[in-house]
Amino acid sequence: MAQSLTSHRPILAVFLKVTAIGLFTAMSGVIKATSDVVPAGEAVFFRSFFAIPVIVVWLAIRGDLRHGFVAKNPMGHVWRGVLGTSAMALTFTGLGLLPLPEVTAIGYATPIFTVILAALLLGETIRLVRLSAVAIGLVGVLIMIWPRLGGGADMSDTATLGAICVLLATMARAMVQIHLRKLVQTDHTAAIVFYFSATASGLSLLTLPFGWVVPDLQTTLLLIGAGLVGGIAQILVTSSYRFGPASMLAPYDYMSMLFAIIIGYVWFAELPTWVMLAGATLVIAGNILVIWRESRLGLDRRRTRAATDPKN
């Protein structure tokens, strides 16, 4: 019988969540480091395919393997795969064109777009607090991307494309969040985690005719490591929600900015601009308002969060 352990162990929950965020950010650094050689579609394959063994072993240890292979809503998994794979490919493209901290900061807009889409697609009511959060967040997004889109000093063709890709990825992840709210009602989290990696691996193969390369040994090992690290990080973030509520853990997502700044500086000699940090601060403020409002309303997104990869 599968275990259904849940207990309130906040220190363990925070440790698991922060460790997962650190691993996801490191994985993004690896993808960025290989982006000059390996196209985004190929990177998606390595990230997804080599996460599968880690996930299968984890499900077996938990006794959830039988749940992991049961897809009650097959088309739901297909659409989750299409949306999630698109978000991953767009993010990986953006990582090759923009600094790591900037990609991380723009990605914080996901909850803001999720609120908007929930209102448009699910009919959820947006009252004053969440409307204010959306407005603050969108202003922050505009501040961050304006130098890339509005003719600022940092504008270039590649930077503009990168900003567009990351922004589209953020919207796609918001669509994933909306879709998962329905999918978790019929399918086990184990199945959602497993079938996403499986479908992403298959869908990424469709990009094979568009310029895949045979990487050297070092690059291959880095890409395999990215997949393994991504799988481990997914396990850790999923496990964290067994020991602490989503409302408590959500703010720790923003530790990724600290990790991104450190990795960006040490590995790529990148430093965030004050404009980017100002925009990111507004987006985070908007997200915190959303988190606070959902906590007040008692809207527990734990199962949805557990099935979502924060960094794809």
pTM above 0.85, yes or no: yes
| Predicted local confidence at residue 68, as pLDDT | 80
Query: pLDDT band at 153, cuts 50/70/90?
Result: very low
Which residue did the predictor score with more confidence, 128 or 58? Answer: 58
Give residue-wise pLDDT tens across range 242-265: 887 776 777 888 889 999 999 999
What angle separates helix 10-34 from helix 255-268, to the nearest 10 degrees? 30
By the 10 Å C-beta count (0-12 exposed, 13-18 middle, 19+ buried), 297 is classed as: exposed
Residue-wise DSSP of 220-266: HHHHHHHHHHHHHHHHHHHHHTTTS-HHHHGGGGGHHHHHHHHHHHH
If you average pLDDT over residues 138-164, what whole number do you get? 78
Query: pLDDT band at 295, cuts 50/70/90?
Result: low
Count of alpha carbons within 13 angstroms of residue 302, beta-carbon side: 16
If you average pLDDT over residues 277-298, what whole number do you get? 81
Instruction: Name the CA radius of gyration of the chain, rounded.
Output: 18
Is residue 69 within 8 A of residue 191, CB to CB? The reply is yes
Give residue-wise pLDDT tens across range 201-245: 999 999 999 889 999 999 999 999 999 999 999 889 888 888 877
If you average pLDDT over residues 5-23, what whole number do you get? 84
Which residue did the predictor score with more confidence, 85 or 157? Answer: 85
Tokens of 130: 């969440």
d(CA 284, CA 279): 9
Is residue 176 within 8 A of residue 308, CB to CB? The reply is yes
Query: pLDDT band at 308, cuts 50/70/90?
Result: low
d(CA 61, CA 22): 24
Is residue 36 within 8 A of residue 222, CB to CB? The reply is no
- Tell me the domain boundaries of the chain: 10-306
| Predicted local confidence at residue 185, as pLDDT | 84
- Mean pLDDT across the chain, nearest whole number? 86
